[in-house]
Amino acid sequence: MYDLIIIGGGPAGASAGRAAGMAGLKTLLIEKAEFPRYKPCGGGLSEHAKSFLDFSIPKNIQERNISGIRIFYKGKVVENEKKKIFSTLVTRSMFDEFLMKKAEETGIEIKMSEKVIDFNEHDNFVTIQSNKSKYKSKYVIIAEGAGGAQDIKIPLENYGYMKLKEEYDIEFYDMSQDSHSTVNLLDINIHPMPIQTSNLMLDPNNYIISAAVMKTHGLAVVTLGLKNIVLAAPMNFGQGKNERGKLHTEPMMEDPRYFNYNHFMMSQYAFPDLTVIDGFVGMEGKGPLFGDPIEVGVAIASTDTIAADRIGTDVMGHDFNNVGHLVHCANTKMGVGDINKINLLGDKVVNCRKNFKRVENWEKIIKWN
């Protein structure tokens, strides 16, 4: 049995391997590629990153030192030059191979061209299954990089969702593996913009439940039940090929009318049958990714998603009329947006309201009309 198995031999895995080897741990590093391998990367190595290395980088791997920066944006150029070096450029294929050698020289075992495909946790050890063999280790470090987690089973296991599968007899489905059809939205020139969309989401026979979190959003003002589904429908093929990106291009983001109209258009194809909004802890400020938690303590559920989102928007202390895609849906009778026509069960909105801090670009994104 190993003390430690490391999956992946990029900079993270190789550095962990060297540290483990120097600490005298019986270590195995498994890397699926044969080195040197190509790695898409700018190769900019900051001085801070270099400060973690206990050895110097050979001259033949250093391509050049960077002491200045030049940014081109919309015909403008911004330049700044410092007296000191703040980054060194390396070619990743050479750099990663060098780091691997530095790990190997500490005496750890390395297996190249071997891919880890599964693992199982036991009380005092972990079993690792690769495409070639099975191993046992006390500890495991997963250093597979951003493109590694192609198999949804691993995160589902890690977060304990697989237990739900046994308890409730449900299936998990990786939507990036789904078949897809074209939905045409609107591009910046008012031409059809084909979006490859999950057939699972498009099938009217499927009952879709949106389990959304209450958050502010830097393009949509707020994100609730509808947006949660509308942007889950475009295919994410992995490796940076995400159809959703077509709705977030720079010219589109300059004009909120496109964003809101396209969300409304996609709602015609992929629409939740039931919305459940988790507002126990929401996100305010720089949502939907970098905001702050805000305790609200509410849950909102409705088979009318627009009504649920209307109540959610009110609870957040935002004006429903600022949320263009929801107003489009309400105006075209896809749901009820008029607060006076919603039969609200439970506490009154005024008793639950928490005024969520707005996103910084709020004034720009409410101009959707």
Residue 7 engages ligand FAD in binding (rule: CB under 6 A): yes
Minimum distance of ligand FAD from residue 296's CB (angstroms): 35
Q: How far is the CB of 100 from ligand FAD (least distance, A)?
A: 9
CB of 226 to ligand FAD, least distance (A): 32
Identify which of residues 99 and 334 has a Cβ nearer to ligand FAD in the complex: 99
Query: Residue 64 and residue 66: Cα distance in Å, rounded?
Result: 7
CB 223 within 8 A of CB 215: yes
- Does position 8 interact with ligand FAD (CB under 6 A)? The reply is yes
Phi/psi region, residue 285 (left: phi>0; alpha: psi -120 to 50; beta: rest), is: left
Per-residue string for binding with ligand FAD, 130-149, x by CB under 6 A?
-------------xxx--x-
36 binds ligand FAD (CB under 6 A): no
Q: Exactly one of 5, 20, 28, 30 binds ligand FAD (CB under 6 A); which one? A: 30
Query: CA–CA separation, 226 vs 270, rounded Å?
Result: 9
Closer residue to ligand FAD (CB): 236 or 321: 236
- Under the binding rule (CB under 6 A), the answer on residue 366 touching ligand FAD is no
Residue (9 or 287) nearer to ligand FAD, CB? 9
Distance, in Å, from the CA atom of 94 to the CA atom of 14, rounded to the nearest integer, reads: 13
In order of 37, 75, 94, 98, 247, the CA distances from 105 in angstroms are 20, 50, 17, 11, 49
Residue 75 binding ligand FAD, by CB under 6 A: no
Asked whether the CA dihedral 269, 270, 271, 274 is positive or negative, the reply is positive
Q: Is 32 in the site for ligand FAD (CB under 6 A)?
A: yes
Q: Does 310 bind ligand FAD (CB under 6 A)?
A: no
Residue type, 330: A
Using CB under 6 A, which of 5, 6, 100, 116 touches ligand FAD? 116
- DSSP structure class, residue 35: S
Nearest one of 305, 316, 211 to 263, comparing CA atoms: 305
Q: Residue 112 CB, nearest distance to ligand FAD (Å)?
A: 9
The torsion defined by the Cα of 284, 285, 288 and 291, in degrees rounded to 10, comes to -80
Work out whether 5 is an interface residue with ligand FAD (CB under 6 A).
no
Phi and psi torsions of 343, nearest 5°: -85, 100
Please give the size of the binding site for ligand FAD, defined by CB under 6 A: 23
The amino acid sitting at 23 is: A
* Binding residues vs ligand FAD (CB under 6 A): 7-13, 30-33, 39-44, 115-116, 143-145, 148
